[in-house]
Structure 1
């Protein structure tokens, strides 16, 4: 290989022109999210078709005014549901764009990171270990590049690639570094031609979404049962047939839970989208489901706990020899933060890399070193860099001075890189690196400082109080790891090394991982074993990874989190989440937000099922008591619009409660408290409506007036219930009645609608009559007493701020599980 010419790549203008000519570098089209497309899907849903059927039949049996009212409500309801689903799916689609694969290219002489979709023929790709090749390309420069082409050929062994060879889109660089000129992109690549059709990418349903869809289908059967049984009982007890048929149709309209799957999509999709704005990019929506359950964060040190702002602070022995050798150990493609810090320091000291690169052995996570063979003016020179203890093993003589310097630097929490050199005869240049890396002359060490990120210590402590352990796994020296862990409040009394882990049986590892929070000189395989051990202990594990060998741990974890800045393409593809800022604080924040999503989902479902329960009771009990029905069929249909809007949109906007920062057991959606809450809230709303209705009948009011009482009680009562349902234990006075703007606006609209019905002639359109202000006030009092008793229970049980009256136990210890 000759001395490399400067490669400047395309200009931005040339890249734009080629992107317009060749199109995006994409094989499969992302599924387009359109309002009309979702509307068409929604209208074809069996439950919506049933509602339309109800409207058509009702039109034949009712009068023209009723028919028009029903279809207006159906249109508004479908539009509301389509809009809610559109917002959620648009948010989910945005996630895939935000977390889209990236590629490093040279443009205008500078290395840039761009979306893979924007790569064009002629771009110069910068390749490194773990890079997924973005286009079919020809290597301009190759430093021992090996590519895994199994995605195309099925061949499991990587192929060595030299300058002039082709690399193909979709293949992975497993070792080495290089630069390649893109020849073909998108459908013109070898991978694109192998794809018979350009399939659309459709977001898969999460387990929770599938479970809710299944639950909704089951509840349809229940809804239809009561929609048939109640009118049938009414008819058998002397109610008019026509009115009973219309009531049954209206009940089917209102009780069928067509909104249930949308609530899940809204909470998860919009929640994940909000997190993406805070550098926590949820690639797979299923991760949003389990975020709140995480009990352990298994995190890297460098760049996650620390700032990833590396600077050389010590060179031993002093002088330029060490920095010269360190600079010569790198290729011009080396872009790691450690390499950049050393290169900057070396160049400031006047060092210049000499000679051409002959061969390279990429960094090996097992050996913690890398090698480079250069042809220098005086002959071939091998430069070995990496972990001091590994480099010292290759030394031709003991170096106690280096060992002492390493101990001094690591005790200060610094990363230490050792450098060794060796002259290699021409006849030996083809020998394996394992043979060449013996009898080295250790030049010295470089001490690099990378301080902890601001806020990490406080976040680790807050996570611990919430029952979430932080375990630090690093490839650094044990003393460096212990120092940094202590700085950020991670227990560091014992540090276990990768060598110790490799000798540890699985049973012992499961016990060790309960007490130890710092693992040093660990390999990706060690990290995977730690993930398995934690999960076997019952923990829910969030794990970070950035390298090609981290994919096992990322896939094995409950939540795989790839680094967005230093992460390889392969790691980002394997992960559920991409951390755009590589910051531990963002991970912890994401988990707390996951708890908020879960709480809000639970609140929305509890409210939704409570009002459906109350609606069934409001009709079932009067029929059993041989009383007239409390709501006219047209009124039932109108109520559906307000019920569903609150459940699907109101609780999505609910702020986080204090309880998300407290330890607790793994959260279940339908536990005993949830089922009991649905029953009690349903009975409370039923009591508000039936109490008002019975009072009006008892006072001898006409049936139309009594039904208006019931209608007013329902509107007021289900608004009250929505506000009471905002927290299971924190009183509304503590939450703040005006802290959820979406719900506040919905409540105002509902009350204005009620006033229009009971105080203007508009009520006649829905079979309602005018009421006196005192009567409306009386109904409001009935509803308040029937529903707000739950607030009194919260105050007595948990106190004014939602904190249990009984003194809480101390925060969980660092090794406790929630």
Structure 2
């Protein structure tokens, strides 16, 4: 007996030739013999809650909150609300993203064709049961393991499992495994291993999981957090020791030390990053764009070369038959074409257009052998007993270079029409299609001219990428002259010099040189598409690849970002990181814009939070060395952080941002945060130290002076980060300043936050120091890049000199 996926036996009789019956399907469902691999587009609800609540920063802040509740006043424990806010907002945003992804995953999931009760039907992948008879056609993805029961030239690409690029011809009795896909022909197989028993089940589950890892952005943030974690421990020890020796009492010492440690924690950085990504997923989901891996948003923002396939991207998936041009009166080309269209069990869009456009009934020829279409061969064929063997495919593949019919086909193709050929070949030659030299014996009978439907949104989309500095390469399997004509009609730069990929050099460096000079390539095979992606990557390009056919799968997998059309084959959707469910090329600019918004805004937010971490570390070190009381209560820093970091960061993280993504996230943030944090920390401590040395003042007045100085500097840092300025960004900075003034002006608010500015001399001195530091910081940030460039240029010049 065949073993079931849950360890039991197959219930009921074996599947007959017409597939399982409804009763047998029910029995298998009840026995748990279903393809029960869970759909993992995101973390589960429990995982989301744990990931947002049980964090090391929540644990640290929670411990400090307990200390304040024991030794201090409740107003100084306001920072404890960060735990609730961070966790709640993070959970809510990720749940929103999860709902969006789960909904889109169902829409974008490819159904499986099965034979049940002698009728073909489509069922979701999870409803396939053990023993189902599964039907396969070109482009279908194999979701469970089984044994082939029928084959009509069925060729399976197992490269994603084995690494072998050549498709494997399958005959009845051969095994097929999940994770592979059909590239030619058709057939059927019986499901023998379903659910978690299937070979690629775990791989597929991992590949489709919503992920926050493996991106420059997240790795950079994790590096920041690692550095901060290592710094906090020794500085916290130093701060606690200094406060115990300088404060008037143990409670004052504990409160001061807690204030310094809490400020070091960039508690909102991870939260804002998660929110920005989650909102990006939701926004793209509303545009029917399924993001299967989160770093894909970041990836497309960094792309500088976009490789597109003509069919399905620049043109609509369907075509229309324009005309059939007879070439020889003694050959029945039109009848042969009708017979080929009628005998194709799994017609591709080209053959469907021919079948619909001929408008004639098939001649009734009986096929004694067929060769399915393959993107590697670029032709299909069939043999019809006494009517001979016929092939149908590209004119420049089937016909010799000196054939007058090929010249005529190229003339038609130069206008943007797609031209194919029906040709007769020697009887019996189709028995070995892999070794057949079709150009040697093909007798052209007719040219088949097809009109392609240009996508209305393609011109505007191509213009957008040109304006954004993204090179577009059209990589197609069609005739290069025809592809060039279509690209010219869309005003693609370089379209007037199309390249026949069969003339491309094999070396990576040589191919990269050709790719740098040309933008349109025709007659590109599946392996060449993959090689072209690697050649572009070898020159440092970040490459995105779009496609919808099985011949695009390998290139989609190797590209930095794979983008599949929703109407594409199941195989392309399985390997792509982004699926355009509405099949609209015009969605790509929205994805680019969303990626740039996320990356640019997170960099702004990181600048804010890391500046706070730097100035808090400097303040803690200076306090520890000088042995004075820490200049702030926790409530002071809660107010300042909320007005100069928390609220502005939330607004900036979700704002539009068209800036192009650049590499070097960590160095850029550090180049801003370290000088900005140093300016804030040193200037604030200087003003506070001068205030403590003047007689007649107390800690309340001295700490208010320090708060005033730090707020002014932090607000100036916010203004610098908000550039380029516009009305709402300047308004945001002004609103935060007005809120601080309101706290000082309203008695009960100033009492609540323990702000009692009383010494005008101290306040004026501190403000003067803060304003001077703001000017110096602005000059430094303006001049430092210029000086760095000059130093680099000088070093290059010195290295180039003999």
User: Which bin holds the TM-score, normalised by the shorter protein?
Assistant: 0.7 to 0.9
Residue of 753, 759, 765 corresponding to 2:746: 759
**What is the root-mean-square deviation in Å for CA atoms of aligned residues?**
5.1
Equivalent-residue separation in structure 1 for 2:590 and 2:124 (angstroms):
26
Q: Deviations over 1:79-119 (max 9, x none)?
A: 42342255247526744763554135379999998753455
* Structure 2 counterparts to residues 315-354 of structure 1, below 5 A: 315-317=324-326, 322-330=333-341, 331=343, 333-346=345-358, 349-352=359-362, 354=364
Q: Does 1:725 align with 2:721?
A: yes
Match of 2:665 in 1: 669
Native 8 Å contact 1:562 1:571 kept in 2: yes
Match of 2:230 in 1: 221
SS in 1 for 2:446: strand
Q: Deviations over 1:275-325 (max 9, x none)?
A: 343354332233333323222112211121223342122321299965543
Match of 1:812 in 2: none
Match of 1:562 in 2: 564
Equivalent-residue separation in structure 1 for 2:308 and 2:269 (angstroms):
36
Equivalent-residue separation in structure 1 for 2:715 and 2:174 (angstroms):
69
Residue of 691, 700, 707 corresponding to 1:704: 700
Residue of 130, 133, 138 corresponding to 1:129: 138
Q: TM-score, normalised by structure 2?
A: 0.78
1:406: how far off? Answer: 0.8
* Structure 2 counterparts to residues 54-73 of structure 1, below 5 A: 54-62=64-72, 65=74, 70=77, 73=79
Q: Does 1:368 align with 2:370?
A: no
Match of 2:573 in 1: 572
Residue ranges of structure 2 left out of the alignment (5+ in a row): 1-16, 784-802
Equivalent-residue separation in structure 1 for 2:41 and 2:406 (angstroms):
58
1:525: how far off? Answer: 1.8
Alignment CA distance shift 1:76-1:609 (3 Å): closer
Native 8 Å contact 1:731 1:795 kept in 2: no
* Structure 2 counterparts to residues 616-695 of structure 1, below 5 A: 616-617=617-618, 629-636=630-637, 645-646=646-647, 649-657=650-658, 659-660=659-660, 666-672=662-668, 674-682=669-677
Segment drifting more, 152-161 vs 271-280: 152-161
Match of 1:102 in 2: 110
Match of 1:83 in 2: 89
1:162: how far off? Answer: 5.8
1:446: how far off? Answer: 1.6
Equivalent-residue separation in structure 1 for 2:181 and 2:467 (angstroms):
42
Alignment CA distance shift 1:20-1:450 (3 Å): farther
Native 8 Å contact 1:685 1:783 kept in 2: no
Q: Deviations over 1:466-522 (max 9, x none)?
A: 332111111111211221222222213432212211x55444323222211121111
Equivalent-residue separation in structure 2 for 1:483 and 1:782 (angstroms):
68
Match of 1:283 in 2: 292
SS in 2 for 1:307: strand
1:411: how far off? Answer: 1.5
SS in 2 for 1:383: strand
Match of 2:502 in 1: 499
SS in 2 for 1:176: strand
Native 8 Å contact 1:126 1:333 kept in 2: no
Alignment CA distance shift 1:435-1:238 (3 Å): closer
Match of 2:416 in 1: 413
1:536: how far off? Answer: 1.9
Equivalent-residue separation in structure 1 for 2:164 and 2:484 (angstroms):
43
SS in 2 for 1:670: helix
1:219: how far off? Answer: 0.9
Q: Does 1:386 align with 2:373?
A: no
* Structure 2 counterparts to residues 538-553 of structure 1, below 5 A: 538-553=540-555
Equivalent-residue separation in structure 1 for 2:50 and 2:193 (angstroms):
38
1:256: how far off? Answer: 2.0
Equivalent-residue separation in structure 2 for 1:564 and 1:74 (angstroms):
46
1:630: how far off? Answer: 3.1
Q: Does 1:472 align with 2:474?
A: yes
Equivalent-residue separation in structure 2 for 1:648 and 1:20 (angstroms):
53
1:237: how far off? Answer: 5.4
Alignment CA distance shift 1:634-1:283 (3 Å): same
Equivalent-residue separation in structure 2 for 1:601 and 1:588 (angstroms):
20
Native 8 Å contact 2:62 2:83 kept in 1: no
SS in 1 for 2:266: coil
Equivalent-residue separation in structure 1 for 2:575 and 2:611 (angstroms):
40
Native 8 Å contact 2:246 2:629 kept in 1: no
Match of 2:261 in 1: 252
Equivalent-residue separation in structure 2 for 1:299 and 1:481 (angstroms):
12
Match of 1:268 in 2: 277
Q: Does 1:47 align with 2:57?
A: yes
Q: Does 1:591 align with 2:602?
A: no
Alignment CA distance shift 1:73-1:124 (3 Å): farther
* Structure 2 counterparts to residues 161-176 of structure 1, below 5 A: 169-176=178-185
Native 8 Å contact 1:105 1:114 kept in 2: yes
Equivalent-residue separation in structure 2 for 1:343 and 1:702 (angstroms):
93
Residue ranges of structure 1 left out of the alignment (5+ in a row): 1-5, 798-818
Q: Does 1:294 align with 2:303?
A: yes
Match of 1:448 in 2: 450
Alignment CA distance shift 1:173-1:492 (3 Å): closer
Q: Deviations over 1:10-35 (max 9, x none)?
A: 99xx9999989969743246387466
1:51: how far off? Answer: 2.0
Native 8 Å contact 1:29 1:198 kept in 2: no
Equivalent-residue separation in structure 2 for 1:363 and 1:38 (angstroms):
47
